[in-house]
Structure 1
């Protein structure tokens, strides 16, 4: 059977429990956003603004965030400004002139309009603590946050973004990556969960066996929405996603540059290897410090009732029919000399990072349909096992037996 979660009332200071980095560094998770003044008319406008869309789209559309965070890079020489896709705000970003304070140094940033994200880098004296600029007619002054890569020096980090996923899933997710891959740290960006508090999330991570440290980062920005009306963008109806794409670069540049290796995996994704290899060790040994691999769907089929758990799902479609279109990735930041300043980790790829090795066949990202909350399509309908179409995946069964103590025969 699957081991229960740690008691959520246990103290985070308990013996053998993971260290909450926010206890030692109270401002480590603080971001410095730049938001449009609600008293002024300037707003981000959706593509096809004349089209008729449901109110839910507009409620999720981020019309006021210019940058989600402003921070020093790990060398101290540069300042990054990371934000969501600018759309109609792009000309204003292109014409920015930034002044560092207290030095008074004026500089124009290098600008990269990335994949659903804006990446700006400006060189300012190390003593500058704030920067100023005018955006449209709005004067802006924002604090420059410290780089926190040293807090994860030498770590093997798994990180994700979360909104209202069951705490049991989050515990199982972190436990899996510690036990199967040797993760030493877990970072969870929380996108305004309402089912529990940030302290509940921290307590859950603190009790994961073998995890050494963790960090919960509040990420309250609007996630965005699927758009069923405007589909002329290269991402189709997925174009209007905001909170997730920029956080990859923000994490990499602000927190991850001293890490030994980094894996991005959603709560509903578990990476497995037919050779039972560690994905962290594999990317650390890879020639270019970047590893990409395919995903496959795990079907929503289980014998158990109640709240689902990852280890209850071991059925997938046969052969290539199981493939999911998306890929997953891991990186070794020590090989960042293969990456330009505008390198952008994204949901399914890493742009701007030199890599000739293609996709690896040594790992698969298992994507669980039945482990989901707050998504845009219904993943609750269960299927019935059909031996002509489906297979019980023995790799999953064996891996779950080792990690969670579940039966080896299903």
Structure 2
């Protein structure tokens, strides 16, 4: 392990906090949950500015009424007017693409009497080049959960690298998280500090969601860090990818479309399990609960480099049903959570007997001391 193989990264962000400017809310007042005001991102103008060849890529939440601040005449690179090549508009984020002058150091904008600027982040895609990688947004997940997730996927699939976007965890430092990753057997890891608001989540009855951060971060990860990876696995820390068909990364690399999709099922521990629950306690299928949403592993190279990533599918039309493999799936571990969405995930449920395949796999890959 070389010291440079494990690193902490920052974003070059810009906020209009304190200016009196606010992003238009995209959720009607009637659909907003009780914590909408504190959760909605009112002020982030852009998350990061990425140098990529002769371009600058400005990764933003949905610009909405902030569009004028990222238009011709407002943006400046090192004090000189910026030339916009194009704006890519996605469902929950936008990317503004600029010409990059040689030696560019800073991007600035203004609105009325307010002005602001940020630096420019380097292209770090070489860190993950050729490696089997995963990406995650995490806030306060226990370090032992993250370590177990890494060890499981290293042993079962040949995972080599992780990008963890730490969303303002206050239970530990980014350095502690990085040291945890370095002790798992990974070849490379980056902890990207992401201090911005995650956004209000949807209520159980639907509506009220306005999450800009996660899809924007997935695509920043794709562009800045992961676009030269061999394959990238998109699942959360509470989701373990099982296999009856070898490595998910190998299957993805061999796939004609460069993507493998798979469904999930819930697994739970017994109600009287020890207080410090681990993935290895999640042996029991839940009775009367449907499948979990599709997740995927993708090759970021080739024609796929033109398309964005989202949580449950790439941000493009693909026949996801036809891409699903029955020899891969994931176990959604009910108690691997800090219950931050307030969806009552920890309420006891009716459980079936321990599943033999789940028990065998978890005993083999996450043996108890």
Q: Could you say whether these structures have the same fold, taking a TM-score greater than 0.5 normalized by the shorter chain as the test?
A: yes
Q: Could you say which residue in structure 1 is the equivalent of 2:360?
A: 398
Distance 2:147 2:183 in 1: 8
Q: 1:211 aligns with which of 177, 186, 206?
A: 186
Deviations 1:306-326 (A, max 9, x none): 2100111111146x94401x2
2:28 pairs with 1:63: no
Aligned to 1:360, which of 321, 325, 330?
325
2:33 & 2:208 partners in 1: Cα distance?
Answer: 16
Q: Which one of the candidate residues 326, 348, 359 is aligned to 1:382?
A: 348
* 1:323 match: 291
Q: Which runs of 4+ in 1 moved over 4 A?
A: 17-20, 48-55, 90-97, 353-357
2:129 touches 2:230 (CA, 8 Å); kept in 1?
yes
For the pair 1:115 / 2:91, whether they are aligned, the reply is yes
Deviates more, 1:45-54 or 1:180-189: 45-54
Once residues 347 and 391 of structure 1 are traced to their aligned partners in structure 2, the CA distance between those partners, rounded to angstroms, is: 31
Question: Is 1:34 the equivalent of 2:14?
Answer: yes
Structure 1 residue corresponding to 2:314, chosen from 336, 350, 354: 350
User: SS at the partner of 2:101?
Assistant: coil
Secondary structure at 1:392's aligned position in 2?
coil
Relative distance call for 1:282 and 1:252 in structure 2 (3 A) is: same
Shift of 1:55: 6.0
1:130 & 1:58 partners in 2: Cα distance? 31
Aligned pair partner of 1:266 in 236, 240, 244 = 236
8 Å contact kept, 2:56–2:98: yes
Q: Kindly report the root-mean-square deviation, in angstroms, between the aligned alpha carbons of the 2 structures.
A: 2.8
Q: How much has 1:218 moved relative to structure 2?
A: 1.0
Give me the whole-angstrom Cα distance separating, in 1, the residues matched to 2:92 and 2:42.
14
CA change 1:361–1:95 in 2 (3 A) is farther
Match of residue 4 from structure 1: none
Matched, 1:196 2:172: yes
Separation in 2 of the partners of 1:109 and 1:261?
A: 29
Kindly provide the CA deviation profile for residues 212-257 of structure 1, in whole angstroms up to 9, marking residues without a partner as x. 121111111111123559x8xxxx4253213222100000000011
8 Å CA contact 1:117–1:245 kept in 2: the answer is yes
Measure the CA separation in 1 of the matches of 2:310 and 2:73: 25
Are 2:251 and 1:291 equivalent residues in the alignment? no
Give the secondary structure class of the aligned counterpart of 1:200: helix
Equivalent residue for 1:221, pick from 196, 211, 220: 196
Cα offset, 1:206, TM superposition:
1.7
- Cα shift at 1:393: 2.6
> Does the 8 A contact of 2:84 with 2:96 survive in 1?
no
The change in CA–CA distance for 1:71 and 1:317 in structure 2 (over 3 A counts) is: same
Unaligned runs of 5+ in 2: none
TM-score by length of 2: 0.89
* 1:263-321 alpha-carbon deviations (Å, 9 max, x no partner): 1221111111233x111111111112222221222235355212100111111146x94
How far residue 383 of structure 1 moved from its aligned partner, in angstroms, is 2.7
Residue ranges of structure 1 left out of the alignment (5+ in a row): 1-16
